[in-house]
Amino acid sequence: MTPRARTNQLLYQAELLLDAPARDDEHAESRRMAQEEGALALLELALEALLRDVTEHAHLAEHDWQELLLGPQRLAVAEVQRLRVLADDGDTWLGWLVDRLSALHGDGGVARRRDTGSTQLISIAGQALLGDELRSCVRDAKREIAALRETSEEW
């Protein structure tokens, strides 16, 4: 499988997890949280595949997203530099994703139970569900990936 195909496959699989039909049973909330964290883990794999995808022309030895995007070494590869800028900006899909991936690797994880208590209803009303934010992240990522691939193909 090519890096491009793997990137596409992982994005598709993440979407499948996010869009899996909900079951209304005693495990529904835990299942939703597992699906969200599973989709986030797939997005991490997709990010690494994307780096292989758009840097094939550079023949990099490593494609670890944390090292390439967050590490001190600044590679002179346009696609990596573009992704670094996005990762540094918390208002972009990649900045958001990097923050969530850090939480995913932490002890607390990233998925949260829905608070159904009336005292918290007002304070969480403006918060989107992680699944909704993940779907938005995937949509924005797909747009960016198309542009990155176009730049990469020019090489």
Higher pLDDT, 70 or 59: 70
Whole-number pLDDT of residue 12: 97
Higher pLDDT, 121 or 2: 2
Report the SS3 class of residue 27.
coil
Whole-number pLDDT of residue 118: 46
Q: What does the alpha-carbon distance between residue 87 and residue 108 come to, in Å, rounded to a whole number? A: 22
Listing DSSP states for 81-129 in one string gives: HHHHHHHH-TTSHHHHHHHHHHHHHSTT-S-------TTTHHHHTTPPP
Structure tokens at 54: 């758009």
Whole-number pLDDT of residue 155: 53
Whole-number pLDDT of residue 124: 46
Tens-place pLDDT, residues 65-81:
999 999 888 778 888 99
Whole-number pLDDT of residue 23: 85
Provide mean pLDDT across the span 81-98.
95
- In this structure, the number of other CB atoms found within 10 A of the CB of residue 139 comes to 11
Structure tokens at 69: 């995007």
Tens-place pLDDT, residues 91-138:
999 999 999 999 999 999 898 877 655 444 444 444 578 999 999 999
Tens-place pLDDT, residues 5-24:
999 999 999 999 999 988 88
Whole-number pLDDT of residue 4: 93
Whole-number pLDDT of residue 11: 97
